[in-house]
Amino acid sequence: MARTVATLIRLLLPLLPQFLTPAAAATAEAEQMVEFKALCAVAKLLEVPVPLTAEDVSVDADVDEILKLNMTAAPATWRTYFGDGSETYGWDKMKDKITKPKDATHWQDNWQRWLDTAKMLKPNPDNKQWLEDHPPPPNQKVAAAQLTVIAQKAIELQSKYKTDFANKIKAKESEAQTAMIQALTASAQRTQKTFDAFAAANQQERTDGDCSGDKAGQGVLYDLACLCLAATTANSKYCVGQPTTAAWEGTAGKLKQGMDELKKHCSQGLTVKPSAHSLTTAAAAVEQLIGRFGKATVLGDKLGKSDTAACSGEADKVCVKYDEYYSSAAASTKNKKIPWLVQVEKAAAALQTADAAKTEALATANSIANLKAGAEAVYAAAQISPPNAANNGETPAPNKATVDCTNIKTNTTCREKGCKWEGKTEADSPCVVDGSQPAATGKKANEGAAGTATTSGCARH
């Protein structure tokens, strides 16, 4: 029995490398595929355009509505300054008519906005229904005072919304897009600014210096080429399971052909929209793989397959070496970051700022919408006539003609004033209004009040 076992061992021992070698090679290539997929995930993210936020058109519409209500409730004499909103009523033509010089700066700063509002109120087929639904309210003075405050706040919030949208949303989204393009396409070759341009023009076979030092880490596409494309097609097999049809060869167009093939493999699987979270997560996944599969002389500063410290593109040396950014020795730390990682961080920070600003902008837009609802409520309430429009519901004041007649004490004076004397002697009975004569009248309704309002109300908008 012992002799039989010994014989079997002698027969099988020479065959053992045949069982072990393919498995070992497969493991190394599988590890490189993991790194390839991680870099692909970053590349796919960077290729997706940043979704651009559109400005909320309801903000301007709501503010315009508030200003229209405000101007409609303003005194008629004040509204005449702006006429139909045409340039005939521009500031240069109307400034000499302003009676309060101390307010000149305020008027000048706001004139164009008031003029634009007047233009919106000029009767036309489009606003006919609005004008019919919003006649000047009977309680104009009260409405104008309240609407002035609402309009001022709405204008302030509108200005804040537009400033934040321009500086914290639109600009930051643009900044993120620029950083993402740089992270994806930057070329390590100084004569071509983008990897695609370099790949199309390249006529040099890959050498050890192409994928190490400060050439590594410039752009994700460049690093993908270093990770997967060797100097020959036979060795360009570690990322996709078999040799590519073209490699980093010395023939023009071959590098581009090989890279186009890799991109097709990259496009497989899940595609995620770029966000602060997705960008940092994808980049961190790549960083965690750097040096993870290193063995013996394969130092801890690489992505890819190498049985030495080199990344020359020869057999078993197809890798990207980040020796400028990660240390391979305990006493030699590095302070620089991989350039494309820096750009990814920049893009993520910009998108995070934009996201926070979008939340704030939404709150601002909602506040303006609430102000509009408040303005509409004020205007609707002002349409209700009080019990006595002349004195806001207080006890009716005596008619002026009645006061004039009843205060007269003599018959002669009573008749001279157009009143009726009911007594039998010169002074024995009161003087009363003669019902057969029309009562004396003063100024037309709201004269004087409108003139007073001309210097207030909308003048402070």
**306-329: per-residue pLDDT in tens?**
877 888 888 888 999 998 998 776
The confidence score (pLDDT) of residue 131 equals 93
3-class state of residue 319 by DSSP? strand
Label residue 434 by pLDDT band (50, 70, 90): low
Helix (H) or strand (E) holding 221: helix 220-228
Instruction: For tokens 């302070």, name the residue.
Output: 335
Sequence-distant (6+) residues with CB within 8 A of 211 are 223, 226, 311, 313, 319, 320, 321
The confidence score (pLDDT) of residue 448 equals 29
Q: Where are the alpha helices (DSSP H) in 383-438?
A: 400-406, 411-416
CA 431 to chain centre: 77
pLDDT higher for 284 or 421? 284
Whether residue 204 is predicted with pLDDT greater than 90 in this model: the reply is yes
Whether residue 400 is predicted with pLDDT greater than 60 in this model: the reply is no
Torsion region of 418: left, alpha or beta (phi above 0 gives left; psi -120 to 50 gives alpha): left
> For residue range 115-152, what is the model confidence (pLDDT) as tens digits?
999 999 999 999 999 999 999 999 888 899 999 999 99
**What is the rounded distance in angstroms from the CA atom of residue 384 to the CA atom of residue 382?**
5
pTM equals 0.74
The confidence score (pLDDT) of residue 361 equals 98
The most distant pair of C-alpha atoms in the chain lies apart, rounded to whole Å, by 166
**What is the rounded distance in angstroms from the CA atom of residue 51 to the CA atom of residue 184?**
17
CA distances from 121 to 68, 130, 135, 339, 376 (A): 7, 9, 11, 57, 16
Whether residue 86 is predicted with pLDDT greater than 50 in this model: the reply is yes
**What is the rounded distance in angstroms from the CA atom of residue 339 to the CA atom of residue 277?**
19
**What is the rounded distance in angstroms from the CA atom of residue 175 to the CA atom of residue 182?**
11
The confidence score (pLDDT) of residue 450 equals 29
CA-wise closest residue to 227 among 218, 236, 219, 18: 236
Report, as an integer, the average pLDDT of 205-231. Answer: 94
Whether residue 345 is predicted with pLDDT greater than 90 in this model: the reply is yes
**What is the rounded distance in angstroms from the CA atom of residue 301 to the CA atom of residue 319?**
10
Report, as an integer, the average pLDDT of 51-55. Answer: 96
Side-chain half-sphere exposure of 437, counting CA atoms within 13 A: 15
pLDDT higher for 408 or 280? 280
Give me 175's structure tokens. Answer: 């900044």
Q: Give the lowest-confidence range in 21-30, 393-402, 444-453.
A: 444-453
Report, as an integer, the average pLDDT of 3-11. Answer: 45
The domain locations on the chain are: 30-49+184-350, 57-180+356-382, 400-444
Report, as an integer, the average pLDDT of 363-390. Answer: 87
CA distances from 102 to 99, 108, 453 (A): 9, 11, 17
Report, as an integer, the average pLDDT of 221-242. Answer: 93
CA-wise closest residue to 325 among 339, 312, 311, 313: 339
Whether residue 362 is predicted with pLDDT greater than 90 in this model: the reply is yes
The confidence score (pLDDT) of residue 359 equals 97
Whether residue 14 is predicted with pLDDT greater than 80 in this model: the reply is no
**What is the rounded distance in angstroms from the CA atom of residue 372 to the CA atom of residue 384?**
19
Label residue 305 by pLDDT band (50, 70, 90): confident
Q: Give the lowest-confidence range in 88-92, 114-118, 428-432.
A: 428-432
75, 457 Cβ separation under 8 angstroms:
yes
Whether residue 217 is predicted with pLDDT greater than 70 in this model: the reply is yes
Whether residue 63 is predicted with pLDDT greater than 70 in this model: the reply is yes
Q: Give the lowest-confidence range in 35-44, 102-111, 352-361.
A: 102-111
Percent of the chain scoring above 70 in pLDDT: 75
**What is the rounded distance in angstroms from the CA atom of residue 243 to the CA atom of residue 228?**
10
pLDDT averaged over the chain?
81
